[in-house]
Amino acid sequence: MREGYGVAPVDVFDLFDSRDPGAWLALDQAARSETYHRPPEIAGRSLSAALRDGVPIDDDRLALALCHHDGRIRQRALERAAGRPALLALVVVRCADWAEPVRDRARERLAEALDAESAVPLAPLILRLAGRREGDHALGLLGRVLRGASRERLAPLLTCADRAVRRYAHERAIEWGALSPAELARAAARDEDAVVQGRCADAALAGLPGRDAEGADEVLEALLGARNPRARAAGVTALRRLELPERAVGFLADRSAPVRACARYVLRQHGRDPLPWYRARCADPADPALPPGAAVGLGECGQRADAGLLWALLEHPVPGVRARAVSGLRALGVTDVPRMRRLLDDPAPGVAGEATLALLPSAGALPAEWLLERLDAARPRWQRVSAWRLLAAHGHAVRLRAARALLEDPDERLRERAGQVVARGC
């Protein structure tokens, strides 16, 4: 603990993770609290006088001065912040200061100090502040600095844990042409953020004028092999422009509805009806290799006459196929309450869940007493959840009765939902 901090003797940089942008903002706010309102004395002088008279001040004290509630002290502290990289984050914060003199001096300091190396660790904080009033100046400076940066400098931003930073970095990389179509395709395939996936996939495909373009195969394989459906859907859609409809057939049973829809679109654009493929694929209700996506795909593009194929799949040994068959029947608008009701006892939670969704419009046709019995705590959770959803669709009186029965349920979420209903009285 250092001497001279007045009522708040602390080592500021020992208190938080300087890599966390939220920590800098928290420090800025905390330093304005009552604890720090009494300025410390430095070499027998007040903080303001010490700053004015050029008394040596360490980074810890200067950090507090940069966050001081008095704008004159913040401004004087900025004069002393040059050449102190540990305080550059607080200079960024002051670039959005409410006091114009402080703001202007901070922007001058940041323009002097910010380079490609320091911009990388500061990017999360700059982007966090960009949403504030007067917060966009530092963002513009960041863009100008990074535009001339090497690919090695940009790389940490493209893989940063901060989602906003990755979005910004990929958007700038696309704008500047810093990444090849193949690199963009790989980014779309690996990134967990939907915005990054979409932007990078679109940019990767925009860079390919045709199937014979350099790197076209690499781009296509990266997108089609992606785990996330946005990238796969973009790759499948590109098969139309690249005149590769046969590749689209392999995605008719994809686990993602948008990808399946894109595959059907590609085939239709090339004069092929995907419905016969679905019918043939679902013809054998005991086929152990039947992909679940084929069952729901049949419902998505089939006719009511195809319901027979889907009803047969409700006996399939694979739970995923049974669940997707129920989804397909729902897509066709086909519901047989007695037949669907027995699926509520399916040992697979996914099947019971899909059956519940299919029965919700007809919930009134299910006996309330029978459903209430299914709330018994001895039953599996998914069966109790299913019964609760169907009872809630019965109407106010039945819903309230069901809620009271769940007030002692072992599942916390069910208890919370039931308690809210009882509290409202409906």
**Could you report the per-residue pLDDT of 282-328, keeping only the tens digit for each?**
999 999 999 999 999 999 999 999 999 999 999 999 999 999 999 99
Our measurement of the distance from residue 295's CA atom to the centroid of its chain's CA atoms, rounded to an integer in Å, reads: 29
Which residues make Cβ contacts (< 8 Å) with residue 122, sequence separation at least 6? 88, 89, 92, 114, 142
Q: Where are the domains of the chain?
A: 1-113, 179-271, 273-365, 367-426
Element (H, E) at 122: helix 116-129
> CA-to-CA distance for 321 and 315, rounded, in angstroms?
9
Question: Do 245 and 266 contact (CB within 8 A), yes or no?
Answer: yes
**Closest by alpha carbon to 8, among 26, 25, 32?**
32
> CA-to-CA distance for 112 and 285, rounded, in angstroms?
71
> CA-to-CA distance for 146 and 149, rounded, in angstroms?
5
> CA-to-CA distance for 100 and 270, rounded, in angstroms?
62
CA distances from 156 to 20, 152, 162, 375 (A): 15, 8, 11, 52
pLDDT at 276 over 80: yes
Question: Do 93 and 125 contact (CB within 8 A), yes or no?
Answer: yes
Place of tokens 């989602």: 163
3-state SS class at 42: strand
Of all residues in the chain, what percent carry a pLDDT higher than 90?
Answer: 78
Give the bridge partners for 46, in sequence order.
Answer: 41
Question: Do 343 and 353 contact (CB within 8 A), yes or no?
Answer: no
Does pTM top 0.95 for this prediction? no
User: Structure tokens of 46?
Assistant: 């007040």
Question: Do 107 and 116 contact (CB within 8 A), yes or no?
Answer: no
pLDDT of residue 38: 52
**Could you report the per-residue pLDDT of 170-215, keeping only the tens digit for each?**
999 999 999 999 999 999 999 999 999 999 999 999 988 777 777 7
